[in-house]
Amino acid sequence: MFGINSHLMFCIILLFLSSNNLIKSNPVTTQLPKECRNNEVYMECGPCNEKRCYTIFYFVDPCRFNKCSPPGCYCEEGYGKKSVEDDTCVSLSTCLNE
């Protein structure tokens, strides 16, 4: 009743519709660069292991699965997040004094 061409056409249409739904359900969003705070810099591909004062003394490997964090403001080189409650970027040398 149906030839090979109709089955092929059906598969192509099904593939198109399913890929179109995947794109709609997983949109890629980009954040426009914004003004960052002191000691921060905007990055399209943020560091996967941003320094933090509260993790400076033990090894944390967040890069195991993700090589890049979402676009946004991140601490400049030599700076890290102060604490869980205070996410300002401070010099990593001040972390040792606290």
54-72 pLDDT, tens digit each: 776 555 565 666 778 889 9
The pair of structure tokens assigned to 66 is 């993700």
Q: What is the pLDDT of residue 52?
A: 81
Q: Residue 75, class by beta-carbon neighbours within 10 Å (0-12 exposed, 13-18 middle, 19+ buried)?
A: buried
Q: What is the pLDDT of residue 68?
A: 84
C-alpha 52/C-alpha 75 separation (Å) is: 9
Domain boundaries defined on the chain: 30-95
Ranges in the chain, pLDDT < 50? 16, 19-29
Q: Do 76 and 39 form a contact (C-beta atoms < 8 A)?
A: yes
State whether CATH 3.90.105.10 applies to domain 30-95: no
Q: What is the pLDDT of residue 49?
A: 76
Q: What is the pLDDT of residue 84?
A: 85
Q: What is the pLDDT of residue 39?
A: 95
Q: What is the pLDDT of residue 54?
A: 75
Q: What is the pLDDT of residue 43?
A: 92
Flag whether the pTM goes above 0.75.
no
